[in-house]
Amino acid sequence: MLMNTKNCCASLILSAIALNSGMAIAHDNAYLDTQVAPNNGQLRAAGIYHVELVLNKDSKETKDNLVLVYVTDHAGNKIPTKGAIGSATILAGKLKSTAVLLPDGDNRLKASAKYAATPDVKVVVSLTMAGKSPEQAQFTPFAIKSVKTEKH
C-alpha cells in the first residue's frame, strides 16, 4: 500500500511539472502582443521559436524598405541564424511583395521589400533554420493594438 501512495505522489508531481512546463512556453499572439519586443517589432511564435518582425514604421509611401526578422527561443535567448533561410510575403490591399530573408548577424535575417506603413499590412514570414523543419508566423505589424505592458 505504501508503494502505491509513493507512485501516486510521484505521478502527480511529474504531471504538475509537465503541465507547468507547457504553460511556460506556450505563448499565443494575444500574449505576445502584450510584450515589448527587444527590437520594437511585433513578436509571434513559430514552432519552437519566437520571431520578431521589424518593418519601417515611418514609410508613408510604398517603396523599398528593410525587413528584419529576429529569432529567439521562448525564453528570449538568441538563436543563431547562420545557415537559415526564409521569406517575408507582405500583403497590403492589392499589393503583394515577397522578399528573401538571409542571415545578417547573430540572430537576425534581413531583406528589402516594397511596402508602406499602413494598418492593413499583413506579413507571412516563413523560416527554415539550418537543419530544422520550416516554420511560419503571421504578422499585422501596423495594426492598432492595445498598449504593450511587459518587456519580453
Residues with Cβ within 8 Å of residue 48, at least 6 apart in sequence: 73, 74, 135
Local confidence band at 6 (pLDDT 50, 70, 90 cut-offs): low
83-104 exposure pattern, b = at least 16 Cβ within 10 A, e = fewer: ebbbbbbbebeeeebebebebe
pLDDT at 24: 45
Average pLDDT over residues 131-137: 97
- Would you say the pTM of this structure is higher than 0.85? no
Which class does domain 28-143 fall in? mainly beta
Local confidence band at 79 (pLDDT 50, 70, 90 cut-offs): very high
Measured in whole angstroms, the distance separating CA 66 from the mean position of its chain's CA atoms is 17
Please report, for the chain, the start and end positions of each structural domain, with discontinuous segments joined by +.
Answer: 28-143
Q: What is the pLDDT of residues 30-44, one digit of tens each?
A: 888 888 899 999 999
Please say whether the beta carbons of 78 and 107 come within 8 A: yes
